[in-house]
A and B are shown apart, each in its own frame.
Chain A
Amino acid sequence: MSAPTIDLDAARSALGSACGDVTDAGPDDAVDGVPPALVARPASTAEVAEVLRAADAAGLTVVPRGRGTKMTWGRPPERVDLVVDLSRMDAVVDHAAGDLIVEAQAGAPLAAVQETVAGAGQRFALDDPVGDSSVGGALATNLSGPGRVATGTARDLLIGVTVVRSDGVIAKAGGRVVKNVAGYDIGKLFIGSFGTLAVLTQAVFRLHPLPAARRVVTVGFDRPEEAQRLVQQVIHAQVVPGAIEVDRPAEGQGTVAVLLDGIEAGVAGRTATTLRLLGSDAREDADLPPGWGTFPWAAAAPAERQTALKATFALSGLARVLDVARTASAAAGVRLDLRGSGGAGVLYGAVSADADPGAVGSVVDRLRAECTALGGALVVLDGPPAVKAAVDTWGPVPAIDLMQRVKDRFDPERRLAPGRFVGGI
């Protein structure tokens, strides 16, 4: 089917009356290499609704954008006419400290939310491994970091959401209280949906107290089974870890790092216990180790686009994943660095940018088979165009038909980020 033709001038004018800030797109506005024609920067949920109504009427495909830090994640969209940029909607709308909640607009940087709530001794327990992520972008990509072992991920923190559908209808779900079972919890559907269901404009999150003290206990390991033994010892103990990170660069020793945070008196005792558990080589540190809370591909130069993997697995599969990752990458002759939340069953991998796409594909296939057998999945979050072209980045997804039906109901015309998500959604 040939692409539908759109009347760009008419669209520009309609969008202009929907929202004061509409410009022609530049080269930096490309979404994973796909150039849009226009960029709209609405200033409110109402303006987003007007913009999407106008886009719908003009037949434009739309990709939402927060701070633009993960625009190459997922698959390249089939087509983009309009980027809806939410960076003007960057307000932390309300911090109700006594209720331990915060409400922020989608374009608000996570760091700004963090700064606001820290003033009251609180924290928004969603890590930002990418840096400069927005609330909306973090939700749309289901971003998480080391803290997930203790406080979960976006799905455990989001309590209310405002979205605009592709037909311009504004809808809310959830609310401003943590405990609430009125209606479907559709906020969770938008988490990790890569902008394919609706445009997120505002969100309410539960907060946690800011820990007064923290220590990190680290210990090196050589063999995958050692890493698994160490992690298992920590999770089955009663030390209430704030994070359990596993770092395994392509060469040399790996590290297991356990974060213990809370009140000083408690942290001291739990640190002592953890040191005992992890053996005589374990050491205690007040500072977080280098690279903590960043993805393994973050160390590469921005121009050097590595292949970014996300592996998930049942906790007891850690050793097998570490093992297969190393043997598969060695066999394929590519460099693969791993780091992630070993205590949650999530590891991220970075494959060097110059790796042959076929070689990357073989690593992906072997790791995917292993992760799938371990109750999880392997996703290629990002990568050079040649790798994305050669590899099934999302992999097979159970219940894909049901997901397609959800997409069909929310966005029947496929206006929102078509092709960016699983199964071509």
Chain B
Amino acid sequence: MTGTHGTTETAGPVPGPVPPEETEATGRADADPAAVAAVTRAVRAALPPDSVIDDHLRLRTYECDGLAHYKVIPSLVVLPETAEQVAAVVRACSEHGVPFVARGSGTGLSGGALPRADGVLIVTSRMRAVREVRREDQRAVVEPGVINLDITKATTGGGYYFAPDPSSQQICSIGGNLAENSGGAHCLKYGFTTNHVLGAEFVTPQGEIVQLGGLAPDAPGYDLLGAVVGSEGTLGVATSVTVRLVRLPEDVRTLLAGFASTDDAGAATSAIIGAGIVPAAIEMMDALAIEAAEAATHCGYPAGAGAVLVIELDGATAEVDHEFAEVERLCGEHGSFELRVAVDPAERALIWKGRKSAFAAVGRISPDYIVQDGVIPRTSLPQVLRAIADLSSSSGVRVANVFHAGDGNLHPLVLFDDAIEGAGKAAEKVSGAILDLCISSGGSITGEHGVGIDKAAYMPRMFSEDDLDTMQLVRCAFDPDNIANPGKVFPTPRLCGEVPGRHRGAHPLVEAGLAEQF
């Protein structure tokens, strides 16, 4: 069993058919040693000695992110402390055509921060200052290495918090959240990182430092920040992030409801949304996931339940009271046989403990597993869950379902034992088939984990060649030389070339007197 560390939602090994070291996407260590040496020299001149790592043993520490199956040892690791140092590293990479990958805490689940064997890994863990808490402006300005939960810790005293709460929030960084447009259990009501990032100081792949957005909304010009958030490090590196602070709600109430089946729990979910209630979170776990969570955390979920819902409501007390009564009634009407209401923070924490530890807990019932992150329209939930059950029974591969039911974001855990010949392949096939189900129901291949290296091959199933080409126009505008985290997100890099038809001054050959233009 690999890849479970505590609070992180950590994927188990994914059996890849090709050792990633040899793929186009991750580069070859021997691609251009002279260029790497030149970058190393430049970086050593610009950064303190202990910020530059090039000995093999220490480089190995950084060989993977949260998707631990993929491992690539970078040529060089740098730990800059300032935006200027990040820019100096990127400029050196740009000058010598060496790829770079930015990494925060390395908790990503799609291999977005997987290093390049021929490149530099820029680690932001020494950029951890909360520069400003501006309560009057409902904003904070933080460095990219700041831990997600630390923003909340720095602001709760003043009655505020940072809303996006990925399960890894105790260790993941805001820079990584920005790159991945991270979500979390509460994005049903509060949105994703993109809705909470208002500005960023940003180093482009040419090494320029630019300011995108800021303290005020609606910055004139193109919303480049909107394109950068969720671009998985392929457009540059954020060196400072301006985030929205959200007022803590007056009241929070959490309920656990046991159902006989996922169909019943799904129907209850639809009824709640249909009643015009927007809970802060609605999470679902099926019988297998409950079994695992129970084994791992003794969270006391209802015995014999085919599914549980964890529902949280927050807001002003009068609304929460009213909506809570509605939710209880609707759960009852849709067959909930046990309702448990958290009466204090400890009980609330226990209810969430079962849910938040579910990924890691699956290790109790299966030696290996693949985590998927597909999204479906909420109303397709019953059909898709039945189809997943059919896939599971026809293939003999067990699937545990843990997901954000409110917004249709599924996290099927496909279980297997890598020690059994062919089990990995079978699991991978089921996993892929689940993504196809998501796409055909009008959903997405990823709701919050990102495409990274893991799902790049699935992008053409969701988007046409023209769609992908259009996205890559943005990449070409930012990174014409394709050095910012190349090999991620897009299955095939677009060759950017010169901007066609753009006439700026004379053609170089004309200028050089080698040709004439008519």
A315 at the interface (CB under 8 A from B): yes
Most buried by A among B223, B224, B447: B223
What residues on A are CB-neighbors of B478 within 8 Å? 402, 405
A:70-113 near B, CB below 8 Å: 96-101
What residues on B are CB-neighbors of A407 within 8 Å? 222
B473 at the interface (CB under 8 A from A): yes
What residues on B are CB-neighbors of A41 within 8 Å? none
Residue of A at shortest CB range from B160? Answer: A236
| Pair B274/A98 contact, Cβ less than 8 Å | yes
Q: A168 to B278, alpha carbons, bound, how many Å?
A: 40
Q: A375 to B478, alpha carbons, bound, how many Å?
A: 24
| Pair B220/A379 contact, Cβ less than 8 Å | yes
Q: Interface readout for B368-411 with A: 1 if CB under 8 Å, 0 if not? A: 00000001111100000000000000000000000010011100
Q: A209 to B279, alpha carbons, bound, how many Å?
A: 12
| Pair A262/B319 contact, Cβ less than 8 Å | yes
Q: Interface readout for A305-316 with B: 1 if CB under 8 Å, 0 if not? A: 000001011111
Closest CB-CB distance, B70 to chain A, in whole Å? 19
Partner of A179, one of B204, B315, B447, B499: B447
Q: A398 to B199, alpha carbons, bound, how many Å?
A: 12
Q: A410 to B475, alpha carbons, bound, how many Å?
A: 11
| Pair B214/A402 contact, Cβ less than 8 Å | no
Q: Interface readout for B210-252 with A: 1 if CB under 8 Å, 0 if not? A: 1110111111111110110111000000000000000111100
Interface segment out of the listed B131-139, B417-425, B506-514: B131-139
Q: A398 to B211, alpha carbons, bound, how many Å?
A: 6
Interface segment out of the listed A187-195, A294-302, A325-333, A351-359: A187-195
Residue of B at shortest CB range from A235? Answer: B138
B:340-377 near A, CB below 8 Å: 375-377
Partner of A183, one of B212, B250, B468: B468
Q: A147 to B212, alpha carbons, bound, how many Å?
A: 24
| Pair B270/A98 contact, Cβ less than 8 Å | yes
| Pair B223/A189 contact, Cβ less than 8 Å | yes
Residue of B at shortest CB range from A192? Answer: B223
The verdict on A156 contacting B191 (CB below 8 Å), with A169-B470, A238-B247, A238-B248 known, is yes
Partner of B316, one of A155, A184, A238: A238
What residues on A are CB-neighbors of B270 within 8 Å? 98
Closest CB-CB distance, A252 to chain B, in whole Å? 27
What residues on A are CB-neighbors of B42 within 8 Å? none
| Pair B499/A408 contact, Cβ less than 8 Å | yes
Interface size of B by CB at 8 A reads: 96
Residue of A at shortest CB range from B500? Answer: A412
Most buried by A among B229, B276, B319: B276
| Pair B467/A172 contact, Cβ less than 8 Å | yes
What residues on B are CB-neighbors of A180 within 8 Å? 375, 443-444, 446-447
Interface size of A by CB at 8 A reads: 94
- How many contacts A-B (CB < 8 Å)? 283
What residues on B are CB-neighbors of A192 within 8 Å? 218, 220, 222-223
Q: Interface readout for A176-211 with B: 1 if CB under 8 Å, 0 if not? A: 111111111111110111000100000000001110
| Pair B316/A270 contact, Cβ less than 8 Å | yes
| Pair B219/A377 contact, Cβ less than 8 Å | yes
Closest CB-CB distance, B404 to chain A, in whole Å? 7
| Pair B501/A412 contact, Cβ less than 8 Å | yes
Q: A401 to B222, alpha carbons, bound, how many Å?
A: 11
The verdict on A406 contacting B474 (CB below 8 Å), with A175-B443, A178-B407, A179-B444 known, is yes
A289 at the interface (CB under 8 A from B): no
B502 at the interface (CB under 8 A from A): yes
What residues on A are CB-neighbors of B466 within 8 Å? 169-171
| Pair B138/A188 contact, Cβ less than 8 Å | no
The verdict on A408 contacting B216 (CB below 8 Å), with A263-B319, A263-B322 known, is no
| Pair A183/B463 contact, Cβ less than 8 Å | yes
What residues on A are CB-neighbors of B442 within 8 Å? 175-177
| Pair A153/B218 contact, Cβ less than 8 Å | yes
B517 at the interface (CB under 8 A from A): no
What residues on B are CB-neighbors of A197 within 8 Å? 222
B303 at the interface (CB under 8 A from A): no
Residue of A at shortest CB range from B463? Answer: A183
| Pair B223/A269 contact, Cβ less than 8 Å | no
B:446-481 near A, CB below 8 Å: 446-451, 455, 459, 462-464, 466-471, 473-478
Partner of B220, one of A183, A191, A316, A377: A377
| Pair A189/B316 contact, Cβ less than 8 Å | no
What residues on A are CB-neighbors of B274 within 8 Å? 97-98
A390 at the interface (CB under 8 A from B): no
Q: A346 to B220, alpha carbons, bound, how many Å?
A: 13
Q: Interface readout for B264-303 with A: 1 if CB under 8 Å, 0 if not? A: 0000001001101110000000000000000000000000
What residues on A are CB-neighbors of B276 within 8 Å? 121-122, 209-210, 212
Most buried by A among B218, B316, B318: B218
A397 at the interface (CB under 8 A from B): yes
Q: A213 to B447, alpha carbons, bound, how many Å?
A: 33
Closest CB-CB distance, A163 to chain B, in whole Å? 8
The verdict on A179 contacting B319 (CB below 8 Å), with A171-B466, A314-B134 known, is no
What residues on A are CB-neighbors of B464 within 8 Å? 171-172
Q: A101 to B378, alpha carbons, bound, how many Å?
A: 11
| Pair A403/B218 contact, Cβ less than 8 Å | no
B431 at the interface (CB under 8 A from A): no
| In the A-B complex, the 4 residue pairs with the closest CB atoms | A188-B226, A376-B216, A375-B215, A209-B276
B residues bordering A, Cβ < 8 Å?
134-139, 159, 180-181, 183, 187, 191-192, 194-195, 199, 204, 208, 210-212, 214-224, 226-227, 229-231, 247-250, 270, 273-274, 276-278, 315-319, 321-323, 375-379, 404, 407-409, 442-451, 455, 459, 462-464, 466-471, 473-478, 489, 499-502
Given A98-B377, A99-B379, A177-B447, 4 more pairs with CB closer than 8 A: A182-B451, A193-B222, A240-B315, A402-B204
Could you jot down 21 A-B contacts, CB within 8 Å? A96-B379, A98-B274, A98-B377, A99-B408, A156-B195, A175-B444, A181-B181, A181-B230, A188-B223, A188-B227, A189-B474, A237-B247, A312-B217, A312-B219, A314-B216, A394-B221, A399-B210, A399-B221, A405-B478, A409-B476, A412-B499
